[in-house]
Chains A and B, each alone.
Chain A
Amino acid sequence: MNPPPHAEHHDPFAAKLGMWLFLVTEILLFGGLFIAYSYMRARYPHEFHHAGGSLSIPIGVANTAVLLTSSLTMVLAVAAAQRRSMKRSLLLTWTTVALGGLFLVNKGFEWASKFHHGVYPNSDHMASLPPGERVFFGLYFSMTGLHAVHVIAGMAVLAVLGSMIAKGRIRERNSVVLENGGLYWHLVDVVWIYLLPLFYLAA
């Protein structure tokens, strides 16, 4: 999303507008799944209630705390870059990446324990569940899976930005690049804030 090298003048507003438009498309990407979720939830309210009870609220809330904290460190990283303290910005950016990693580790344990109990698509145990609960877990794996893919993508973006800061290629003048990376990271956070009540607190 950065302006081209031969651009006449640097237009951070355009860069940010482009990023916001991209975020709109990301929200709509999840939007398709949210439509599926609302329809299925209206169709199977009791099964969703019951299946949601099998997810661990403490782990879900802990992960929410991790992601929210990572958004905070992200904001501070951008602010630091704008105030020209690049060392601090670098440290905060890598902290954000690390928190994203922590989130994924937690998520991995959660999925692993579900798999351990035979809850995964096409399993024999799933076949014994009522249809509504099978759809619930189908959506759970699709939506948290897609979200995890976005966490990984966000971490990759931030890692690139981190190495750019380290090499001195981000200055206060073009801090919009870092800001855009931050916007993407907040999107990842915001989507999770919706996933938590829809799945964990559904019970």
Chain B
Amino acid sequence: MTTIAEPLAHTQPSFLDAPGRKGLLGWILSTDHKRVGILYLYSMVAFFFVGAALGVLMRLEQLTEGRTLMSAQTYNALFTVHGVIMIFMFVIPGLSAVFGNFFLPILIGAKDVAFPRLNLASWYCFVGGAGLAVLSLFTGPGAPDTGWTFYVPFSMKSGTNVSLAVFSAVVMGFSSILTGLNFITTVHRLRAPGMTWHRMPLFCWSLYATSWIQILATPILSITFVLVMLERFFGIGIFDPAKGGDPILYQHLFWIYSHPAVYIMILPAMGAISEILPTFARRTIFGYSAIAYSSLSIAAFGSLVWAHHMFTSGMSSFGNMIFSLLTMIVAIPSAIKVFNWTATLYKGSIEMGPPLLYALTFIFLFCIGGLTGVMQGALAINQHVHDTYFIVGHFHYVMFGGTGFAFFAALLYWFPKMFGRDYNRRAAYVAWVPLFVGFNLLYFTMLVLGYMGMPRRYYDHLPQFHTGHLVATAGSWLLALGLLVLFGNFVAALLRGRKAEDNPWGGVTLEWKVPSPPPQENFEAIPTVTGPPYAFGKEGGP
């Protein structure tokens, strides 16, 4: 901030040494937004590794033709559970639950979110729902085998534990809704004096847009899954064609939530990238308001494109055309962001750092994910690649290459601030090599396989796809290795990392003006803000 050149005075202990309950209770009963953020971080990363392990197992099964490791039923359960874990327990809470909770109040100059107790309650909903999902794997008639989309009529008839699994998603939905309304209220009510809307860091804008999608879309998923449960328990008939119902209605209701959910996943990721780039380019962001408002327009348009998941489900061709057009339109605000990021780097005094490397990787991988998305938005191509590995490759580029890499970038960027420890920067660079190579071997091969006609979710493959599967499986090993190095580095830093500086990257937003780790109440006195967020090299800048 222009007026706040010097680090803010502080006498309080950091939130990690705060007085009060010690040990586990001090965490799970704490309403401090920073502790809640870290609770989310630990629980989500744990689930991420479970999901990743399941993914590696699926790839192993595809190593050879026919049976390699497991039965077809187990394989069905694996891709279902992999999807449920990765979507509902990692990418949807994603950057918003971890970094949003930790940094939103600090970035806008507040001491906490608007409803701290509700915030902790949302973590309980998340963990409770996730617990139920895990329970659904080991109890009753066995792990769900429907795919994470729970399409009817199969999810109505499947003898596996579908009811508990969808109920767990409803409970986790509560967590998403509560976080969303908490953040919206926080942004409206708790901005520091002088922190006008257009002085908010872009991460806050993206969280604000995301929060609106969370509260507008999630309830639809909840009611849809409740209907699936009613269908299974009582045979209510709304989705059952034998009783006059319509299974396509399910698909509409499901995607009315689940497509906007994609933007719940990616918008905070874009916000984090918009924080990292100016810091490492040592200049203000290019096109601040374009980036801010493109977040809102992605949120708006993203809510109107759901039926592009259903081009082959038998909609009218007029409907298909409309949704195809709307889908293409979403590419515009996304491209606005990419161009602005590139322009930010142009003529900047770029200083390389691990967060920047991962952020640039995000841009590269997200572009591939986005462009393959536009391809599928075209009706003619979609007819061919629908339900193939092309789709699987595409959404992994967006969700893993996009949200996943942005998550890593944000963690590398903010880790020293969150924990007050420095990780080994060299190891972070080293981890990038297997991550990047493995990622592209795995998912680009999937794009190719899908284009050649390999259907998704199949247990077995034809001989002509064998080489591709071999390459992809090898890629999955490299990717897993990279993840182990990356997170091993974080664990080592937590255990015996050097003490981090207050501002290791030379950032100018408010979180870099408070000590690492931040004191319990963030600010001794609420700061007054008089300038734009990324004022490098100007009065008061570094």
Assess A138 versus B245: contact at CB under 8 Å? Given A22-B181, A32-B220, A32-B224. Answer: yes
Alpha-carbon distance A32/B117, docked complex (angstroms):
29
B28 at the A interface (CB under 8 A): no
**In the complex, which of the residues B117, B215, B230 contacts A24, with contact meaning CB atoms closer than 8 Å?**
B215
A101 vs B218: C-alpha distance when bound (angstroms): 30
With an 8 Å Cβ cutoff, the count of chain B residues facing the other chain is 42
Task: Determine whether the beta carbon of B185 is less than 8 Å from that of A18.
Answer: yes
Closest residue of chain A to B227 (Cβ to Cβ) is A142
Q: Any chain A CB within 8 A of the CB of B128?
A: no
Interfacial chain A residues near B115, Cβ < 8 Å: 1, 3-4, 14, 18
Chain B residues with CB under 8 A of A29: 219-220, 222-223
Residues of A9-26 at the interface with B, using a CB-CB cut-off of 8 Å, are 11, 13-14, 17-18, 21-22, 24-26
- Any A CB within 8 A of the CB of B299: no
Chain B residues near A6 (CB-CB < 8 A): 116
Return B41 CB to nearest CB of chain A, in Å. 22
Residue of B nearest to A20 (CB): B181
Q: Give the distance in Å from the alpha carbon of A146 to the alpha carbon of B222 in the complex.
A: 12
Is there contact, CB below 8 Å, between B117 and A14? no
**B114 and A138 form a contact (CB under 8 A):** no
When C-beta atoms are compared, the residue in chain B nearest to A3 turns out to be B115
Closest A residue by C-beta to B241: A131
Q: Which residue of A lies closest to B526 (CB)?
A: A8
Set of chain B residues within 8 Å of A32, measured between Cβ atoms: 219-220, 222-224, 227, 253, 256
Does more than half of chain B's interface fall in helix, strand or loop, or is it mixed?
helix
Q: Are B237 and A39 in contact (CB under 8 A)?
A: no
Distance (Å) between the CB of A75 and the closest chain B CB? Answer: 24
Instruction: Report B90-121 residues with CB < 8 Å from chain A CB.
Output: 111-112, 114-118
B211: nearest chain-A partner, CB-CB? A21
Docked pose: A1 CA to B188 CA in angstroms: 16
**Is residue B249 within 8 Å, beta carbon to beta carbon, of the partner chain?**
yes
Contact B234 A122 (CB under 8 A): yes
Does B235 sit within 8 A of A, measured CB to CB? yes
- CA A6 – CA B120 in complex, angstroms? 15
Contact present for A17 and B253 (CB under 8 Å): no
Contacts of A21 in B (CB 8 A): 180-181, 184-185, 215
Taken residue by residue from 104 to 124, chain A's Cβ proximity to chain B (1 for < 8 Å, 0 otherwise) reads as 000000000000000011100
Contacts of A26 in B (CB 8 A): 219
A45 contacts the other chain (Cβ, under 8 Å)? no
Q: How far is the CA of A17 from the CA of B180 in the complex (A)?
A: 12
Identify the closest chain B residue to A123 (Cβ).
B235
Closest to B222 in A: A29
Are B184 and A28 in touch, CB under 8 angstroms? Answer: no
Report chain A residues within 8 Å CB of B244.
44, 130-135
CA distance A33 to B374 in the complex (A): 31
Least Cβ distance of A169 to chain B in Å? 16
The docked-state distance in angstroms from the alpha carbon of A131 to that of B217 is 30
Chain A residues positioned under 8 Å from B224 (CB to CB)? 32
> Per-position contact with A for B30-65: 1 when CB-CB < 8 Å, else 0?
010000000000000000000000000000000000
Q: With CB as the reference atom, state the residue of chain A lying closest to B218.
A: A25
Within 8 A of A (CB), among B194-229: 215-220, 222-224, 226-227
Q: Is the CB of B237 within 8 A of A121?
A: yes
Whole-angstrom CA separation of A31 from B223 in the bound complex: 9
Instruction: Judge whether B177 is part of the interface by a CB distance below 8 angstroms.
Output: yes
Between-chain CB contacts (< 8 Å), 30 pairs: A3-B115, A11-B114, A13-B189, A14-B189, A17-B184, A17-B188, A18-B182, A21-B184, A21-B215, A25-B177, A31-B223, A32-B223, A32-B227, A32-B253, A33-B223, A35-B253, A40-B245, A40-B246, A40-B249, A44-B244, A120-B234, A121-B235, A121-B236, A122-B234, A131-B243, A131-B244, A134-B243, A135-B243, A135-B244, A142-B227
